[in-house]
Chains A and B, each alone.
Chain A
Amino acid sequence: MSKRILVIEDNPMVVKSLEFKLKKDGYTVVLAEDGRVAMQLLKDQEFDLVLTDLMLPFVNGNEIIEHIKNVNQEVPIIVLSTSTQEDIITDAFEMGVDDFITKPFSPSELSLRVKRTLAK
């Protein structure tokens, strides 16, 4: 069975690109366009990896990461964000994220990082 990835992103263009690329790589992709939908999906379903933005409507990325870490420590998280500020990146790693990718991103590189994170 293919690995399930939850993509939490509010930019429709980025969402579509991620969905296209990850499906092409053989993953099952579930999309959430805001933090509230993501929280609901995390309650109802199980995922092998979460790929999330930090700036999200209703519930921000940090709260989602905190929620995931409280419920299930094992789920790997990759952050995909426009932020390049050192403190934001270190905060994310301190919260337990497995990888941090900054936008603009290379889809091929993202694909490799997802693969590597899932293989851990």
Chain B
Amino acid sequence: MPTLYFNLEDWSLILKINLILSLIFSCIALFFVSLVLYLRIRKNIKESHRKHLEARFIDFVNAFLFDETINKSKALGDFKYSYIKSSYDHKILIKQILIFDENLKGESSLLIKEIFYGLGLYKFLLEDLQGYRWYYKARAMFAFSKLGIEVPENYVYPLLQSKRVELRQHAILYFLNTSKTDPLVFLDNLEGRLTLWQQVLIENSLKSFEVEIPDFARWLDHHEDSIVVFCIKMILSFNQFQNIPLLVDCLDHDAEEVRYQAIQSLQTMEVSEALQLMLTHFPEETAQNKRSILYAIKKMGTYKDLQTLVPHIHKEDENLQVDFYKISRCFEDQIPVKSLLNIETLSKDWEDFQEYSMQQSIGA
């Protein structure tokens, strides 16, 4: 019977390389299989721990809420020292607290906050706020604002200037949820741009929360244009008619977007007194604002107001001239062009209209 005997020295180089590569790849494969198995087992252990802790916590909270016979401070201490061992445990409990708070109100809601403080979750989240990871801070802000729990202002104000939009958003939400008297106080300290999404968020919050609506004139001279734009929208949205003179002043603002919003709001509020100022500004305005002024004339002006723009309209681009024409038609049926939007007669119509406008401008 032949004996199995391998003498590596007898092997050719290519076989030796093959052997070494096979061993390396086997080791790599084994490592990855072990890693996947390890991660899977770890995940299962964590998951089972989570379920166990959640079940214990739900029982504990229900006993705390509804069982008058238990010693509450002792129960809190016992639970804290028996079950809360790691930051993962804290996270599980915070999530459960938020679910409880979302579903219960009245006295139970107050007791849930007592549990939140008693188990050290407030302290845990405050440490997260002091940390450097933005997602920990965002999570802490989210929890505080959901629960309506106030934290020292020096923790929150820096977040309003954060580079991360998520953090700024959560800081805004925090102020809206926790402040009962001045929910927009954060606007005083906001340095960066207020995005459209944030504007929608604030408006919806103001409409759904039971808070007193502030006077938006307070921020009309804010250095950040997006905040001024937002305030102009809110003056309209909440019918703060007492601020109309200040909106008229905004027609002289340096920022185009502010002037645009002022024109839009004044038009919707039908402040015809502002029309004269709009007409005066027309030659210096941007194309978008000129268009807005045209539509403001349509809504609250006269054909005579529109005619004052004839000397300027010829210098404008064709789109604006078309708008001018369309609005003219709303006032004056005699304009010789009937169907400028009809593609078959467009060129002829356009020439007719330009000729008509020219004659108007020279007073023919």
- Among B58, B66, B101, B105, which residue has the most Cβ atoms of chain A within 10 A? B66
Q: Which residues 27-86 of B sit at the A interface, judged by CB distance below 8 A?
A: 58-59, 61-63, 65-67
Contacts A12-B58, A16-B58, A24-B66; is A108 near B104 (CB within 8 Å)?
no
User: Who on chain A is nearest to B63 by CB?
Assistant: A20
Interface centre among A13, A20, A106 (most CB of B within 10 A): A13
Nearest CB in chain A to that of B106: its residue: A106
A107 to B111, CA, bound (A): 12
Q: Which residue of B lies closest to A104 (CB)?
A: B105
**Interface positions of A from 72 to 120, Cβ below 8 Å from B:** 103-109
Please state if A104 and B99 are interface contacts (CB–CB under 8 Å): no
Q: Is B100 an interface residue (CB 8 A)?
A: yes
How far, in whole Å, are A14 and B103 apart by their CA atoms in the complex? 7
> Given the known A-B contacts A11-B103, A13-B58, A104-B104, are A20 and B96 also in contact in the complex, defined by CB atoms under 8 Å?
no
Q: Do A17 and B106 touch across chains, with their CB atoms under 8 A apart?
A: no
| 1/0 contact string of B107-151 vs chain A (CB within 8 Å) | 111000000000000000000000000000000000000000000
Q: What's the nearest-Cβ distance from chain A to residue B241, in Å?
A: 30
Interface size class of chain A, counting residues whose CB lies under 8 Å from the partner chain = 10 to 19
Are A106 and B105 in touch, CB under 8 angstroms?
yes
Q: Which parts of A9-60 form the interface with B (CB within 8 Å)?
A: 11-14, 16-17, 20-21, 24
Q: Known: A13-B58, A16-B59. Contact between A107 and B66, CB under 8 A?
A: yes
Q: Tell me how many residues of B have a C-beta within 8 Å of chain A.
A: 20
| Inter-chain contact B66/A20, CB cutoff 8 Å | yes
Partner of A104 from B58, B63, B66, B102 at Cβ < 8 Å: B102
Please indicate the chain A residues that have their CB under 8 angstroms from the CB of B62 in the complex.
16-17, 20-21
- Complex Cα–Cα for A11 and B100 (A): 11
Of all chain B residues, which has the CB nearest A21? B66
How far apart are A52's CB and chain B's nearest CB, in angstroms? 15
**Candidates A11, A14, A24, A103; contact of B67 at CB < 8 Å:** A24
Neighbouring B residues of A11 by C-beta, 8 Å: 99, 103
For B105, the chain A residues whose CB sits under 8 A away are 104-106
Q: What residues of B have a CB within 8 angstroms of the CB of A12 in the complex?
A: 58
Q: B364 → chain A, closest Cβ, in Å?
A: 62
Quote the shortest CB–CB distance from B37 to chain A (angstroms).
Answer: 30
Contact of B106 among A14, A16, A24, A108 (CB under 8 A): A108
Contacts of A104 in B (CB 8 A): 101-105, 109
Q: Which of B58, B61, B107 contacts A106 (CB 8 A)?
A: B107
A105 to B99, CA, bound (A): 13
- Chain A residue nearest to B104 (CB atoms) is A104
Interface contact B106-A109, CB-CB below 8 Å: yes
Q: Which residue of B lies closest to A24 (CB)?
A: B66
| Min CB gap B79→A, angstroms | 16
- Cα of A13 to Cα of B109 in the assembled complex, Å: 14
The complex places the Cα of A76 from the Cα of B107 at a distance, in Å, of 27
- Quote the shortest CB–CB distance from B6 to chain A (angstroms): 62
Taken together as a complex, chains A and B put the C-alpha atoms of A11 and B96 apart, in Å, by 12
User: Is there contact, CB below 8 Å, between A108 and B107?
Assistant: yes
In the complex, the answer to whether B100 meets A13 with C-beta atoms within 8 Å is yes
In the complex, A9→B108 CA distance in Å? Answer: 19
Contact B65 A17 (CB under 8 A): yes
Give me 8 other A-B pairs in contact (C-beta within 8 A), A13-B96, A20-B63, A104-B101 excluded.
A11-B103, A16-B59, A17-B103, A20-B65, A24-B66, A24-B67, A108-B106, A108-B108
Residues of A within 8 A of B (CB): 11-14, 16-17, 20-21, 24, 103-109
B residues near A (Cβ < 8 Å) are 58-59, 61-63, 65-67, 96, 99-109
Q: Can you list 23 A-B contacts (CB < 8 A)?
A: A11-B99, A13-B100, A13-B103, A16-B59, A17-B58, A17-B61, A17-B65, A17-B100, A17-B103, A17-B104, A21-B62, A24-B67, A103-B103, A104-B103, A105-B103, A105-B104, A106-B104, A106-B105, A106-B106, A106-B107, A106-B108, A107-B106, A109-B106
